[in-house]
Amino acid sequence: MREKRVLQSASIRGIGFKKFYSLGPSSKRHFMLTGWALCNKQRGDEDYNTIRTKVLQSLSFIKAHLASQETFKDKLASVEKHSLSLTEKRVLDESREQVARADAVINAFDAHDVNAIKSQYVCQVLLHKSARHFEHLAHSGLVTEREASVFLERFGEELNQLRLSSELQASSSPDLDSVA
């Protein structure tokens, strides 16, 4: 139940930097670790690597197509007519079909695996963005190099834990409060 509460509060989709770091250390660690134990699959497991690669490729493909559709409609579609020509509609329909196929690829995998992969990816992105943010703060002089290095070192440690956590097995969940 606690895992569900943490995942809901962290809201995998659209979680912001401030919201993630406002979580308590125990909750944040729990959120990070529970998302990475992929149904008894280890990092070296071919199934794990295949699933992870296909899910991330599909998610990237979908994001790229949705962004392209918006750009196409905003910048390239017939502006004077305020409507789409048959060719423009065909291009958008084909793009929507490709997005549906990518969704089908994702839906073919176990929902728990997909959510765990998404959670891991979101945490990885947030940690990298956080590191870049502190590098920018240090470069701008808003924090000292020493202050920034403390945060950067911590982000590096958490990224290492992220990499190692994919090797954890779901059935042997650790006492997460003792890890934090």
Q: Where are the domains of the chain?
A: 1-39+112-180, 44-109
> What is residue 80's predicted lDDT score, i.e. its pLDDT?
57
Which band of pLDDT confidence, cut at 50, 70 and 90, is reported for residue 2? very low
> What is residue 55's predicted lDDT score, i.e. its pLDDT?
94
CA pair distance 178, 180, nearest whole angstrom: 6
The verdict on pTM exceeding 0.85 is: no
CA pair distance 94, 4, nearest whole angstrom: 37
What is the radius of gyration, based on Cα positions, of the chain? 20
Buried b / exposed e over 140-154, threshold 16 CB at 10 Å, is: eeebeeeebeebbee
Inform me whether the pLDDT recorded for 75 exceeds 90: no
> What is residue 162's predicted lDDT score, i.e. its pLDDT?
83
> What is residue 166's predicted lDDT score, i.e. its pLDDT?
64
Going by C-alpha positions, the residue among 94, 107, 8, 125 that lies closest to residue 55 is 107
Which band of pLDDT confidence, cut at 50, 70 and 90, is reported for residue 167? low
For the residues 116-144, what does the mean pLDDT come to?
Answer: 93
Which band of pLDDT confidence, cut at 50, 70 and 90, is reported for residue 161? confident
In this structure, the chain runs to a length of 180
* The token pair that represents 32 in the structure block: 């990070």
The predicted-structure confidence for 89-110, as pLDDT tens digits, reads as follows: 898 999 999 999 999 999 999 8
Going by C-alpha positions, the residue among 12, 13, 10 that lies closest to residue 28 is 10
Comparison of pLDDT for 12 and 128, the residue scoring more: 128
CA pair distance 107, 157, nearest whole angstrom: 33
Inform me whether the pLDDT recorded for 64 exceeds 90: yes
- Please state, rounded to an integer, the average pLDDT across all residues of the chain: 73
Cβ–Cβ under 8 Å, residues 17 and 126: yes
CA pair distance 164, 158, nearest whole angstrom: 10
> What is residue 48's predicted lDDT score, i.e. its pLDDT?
76
The predicted-structure confidence for 10-42, as pLDDT tens digits, reads as follows: 433 344 444 544 555 544 544 444 443 444 444
